[in-house]
Amino acid sequence: MDSRSDTDPRKSAEPAAARAARPRGPRRVLLLHGIWMPGASMAWLGARLKAAGFEPEVFAYAGAAAGPEASVARLAARLDTPCHVLAHSLGGLIVLDALRERPQLPVRRVVCLGTPLCGSAAAGGLARKAWSAAVLGRAAEVLQRGCPPWRGAAEVGLIAGRTPHGLGRFFGRFEGENDGTVAVAETRLPGLRDHTVIDASHSGLLFSAQAARLAEGFFRRGRFGD
């Protein structure tokens, strides 16, 4: 018979630490990319979340070609079990549209990265020019209008960037801080649970260790701070 007590630190310390690190609530996280990015663009963030104990899955969609509306039904089918969502740019607009249309979906928390929740001036600039409107495709309307104030059950947090490196600055006039594609002011939607701004460009948010840590914290605690 093993004479060591069940409280022997040699037996319990490591399991206790593992239990403390385990995410509370859903471990599954669905990742959505932006308008012109492939699903693989979310791989780096997915790897960080996996290392933190989550179970990431990528939802790929044809943003400009098929339009957001065509993705909502498919997305809803992937959101039918408890989960969190991490979404970049247009992906954030699509997931909030899905949750608004289907409020019964069991999504606990959503983190948006650089999503123009209040509408995109850069998208408006692209849409006004005949030679560039086609690049937005069927996503033009939702990018320009954004979302109404959030009143859904899911807790939504947004991480905005303030490093102005991106082509969006050539098509939209930004007031104040921006990530080169989306202005920080365009991300401040009423009803958000939390909002923070970091030093990253729009595409740089996908490879930011700080953004990954903040998203992990929000999924665990419902806020970006400690």
What pLDDT, in 10s, does the model give residues 36-55? 788 899 999 999 999 999 99
> Confidence band (pLDDT; 50, 70, 90) for 223?
very high
List the alpha helices (DSSP H) in 35-149: 43-51, 63-66, 68-78, 90-101, 121-127, 130-133, 140-145
Rounded CA-CA distance 216/210 in Å is: 10
Q: What is the pLDDT of residue 1?
A: 42
The more confidently predicted of residues 56 and 34 is 56
Q: What is the pLDDT of residue 70?
A: 72
pTM score:
0.83
Rounded CA-CA distance 21/14 in Å is: 11
Rounded CA-CA distance 158/145 in Å is: 18
Q: What is the pLDDT of residue 3?
A: 41
The more confidently predicted of residues 125 and 42 is 42
Rounded CA-CA distance 192/151 in Å is: 9
